[in-house]
Amino acid sequence: MSRFDLVGETPLVRLRKVVGSLPTGVEVWAKIESANPGGSVKDRAASAILRDRIARGIPKGARLLDSSSGNTGIAYGSFCAELGLPLTLVLPANANRERKRLLQAYGVDLLLSDPLEGSDGAIRTAQALAAADPARWLYLDQYSNPANPRAHELGTAHEIWRQTDGRVTHWVAGLGTTGTFVGTARGLRKRNGGIRTVAVQPAGPFHGLEGLKHLPSAISPPIWDAATADRMLWAPTEESLELRQRLGREEGLLVGPSSGAALWGALEVARGLESGVVVTLFPDGGERYVSEDHLWD
């Protein structure tokens, strides 16, 4: 069995303690994406992008190239190691130790971009490389690749619908590449046009919610479709990180910073309801952040 075959079908867990006092008819559930073989939601997009690229053919001698803040790169790395495909990844130089070591373990060739420019700097570096030598580089471009949201439209949305027996009323998720939110929103709306979709961004450009983008101050991903969001919420960093910590201590769920923001958004929605089934998604596990002391103090 290939690692591709293990992607998806992640558990949907009801949150009971960290949600506090909600009306009896309101439920909050979370997809636990760390259960994917590569440890994050990015396994879905990476596997779909690679499948699509392989189906269209990979020119002899070309190296796969993309930019990532970590999780997509790790997913690419695990799949490319299995397939024997050469991969170069542009990563911000300030990415944490765990991510760099995981990528090195998979044999990924790392190029480090300016840490002050974050994920946008990594995108610009990858774009420049691909433009300068198109015969050498096969640029996967997760931020523009339609296979990214399609993986969630066909996969994540289908799973949520089935796991909730079609009871889901609200979809809440953070925005990074935006593929997870956009694709899942499209897939759920096809099943029930009354489902409300709520996107979550960091409250400002200088935030500590790794994996999320503050779109007004960043490169807006071409796959972003504002029409898929009924509502936009702006997550405060401190409250989101506190919720991330509470998930470990009260629910037994070790998750990354972006999961705290997703939970913050889900609770904002849930507190305004009399009844409903609110579903969010936790993109990765907390094990990838153990070297970042500020997340655990």
Residue 157, pLDDT score: 98
Residue 197 in any domain: the answer is yes
Longest CA pairwise span in the chain (Å): 60
Which residue type does 183 have?
Answer: G
What confidence category does residue 57 fall into, taking pLDDT thresholds of 50, 70 and 90?
Answer: very high
CATH of the domain at 94: 3.40.50.1100
Residues 14-26 have a mean pLDDT of: 95
Among 212, 146, 149, 141, CA closest to 185: 149
Distance CA 69, CA 271 (A): 32
Q: Is residue 145 part of a domain?
A: no
pLDDT tier for residue 99 given thresholds of 50, 70 and 90 = confident
Q: Tell me the average pLDDT across 139-161.
A: 98
Which candidate in 31, 34, 42, 69 is catalytic?
42
Same-domain status, 219 and 90:
no
Residues 128 and 175 in one domain: no
| Residue 192 shares a structural domain with residue 81 | no
Reference 31, options 231, 235, 211, 173; nearest CA is 173
pLDDT score of 97 more than 90: no
Q: Decide if 60 is catalytic.
A: no
Count of the separate structural domains present in the chain = 2
258 is catalytic: yes
- End position of a domain, from candidates 108, 139, 170: 139
Residues 163 and 80 in one domain: no
Q: Is 208 found in the same domain as 128?
A: no
pLDDT reported for residue 292: 66
Least confident segment among 156-165, 195-204, 285-294: 285-294
On whether residue 96 sits in a domain, the answer given is yes
Query: Is a pLDDT exceeding 80 seen at residue 296?
Result: no
Same domain, 27 and 51: no
Q: What does the angle CA 123 – CA 126 – CA 128 come to, to the nearest 5 degrees? A: 105
- 150 inside domain: no
Q: What is the pTM of this model?
A: 0.94
Which of 115, 139, 163 is the C-terminal boundary of a domain?
139
Q: What interhelical angle do 42-56 and 71-83 show, nearest 10?
A: 40
The boundaries of the domain holding residue 51 are 42-139
Which of the residues 78, 113, 258, 259 is marked catalytic? 258
Evaluate whether residue 12 is within a structural domain. Answer: yes
In this structure, the number of other CB atoms found within 10 A of the CB of residue 247 comes to 22
- C-beta of residue 25 within 8 angstroms of C-beta of residue 274: yes
Beta bridge partners of 165: none
pLDDT at 297: 62
Would you place residue 294 in the very low, low, confident or very high pLDDT band (cuts 50, 70, 90)? low
Q: Is residue 158 a contact partner of residue 132, using CB atoms and an 8 Å limit?
A: no
73-88: b (≥16 Cβ within 10 Å) or e: bbbbbbbbeeeebebb
The whole-number average pLDDT for the span 205-223 is 92
Q: Is residue 116 part of a domain?
A: yes
159 and 287 inside one domain? yes
Residues 220-269: tens digit of each pLDDT = 999 999 999 999 999 999 999 999 999 999 999 999 999 999 999 999 99
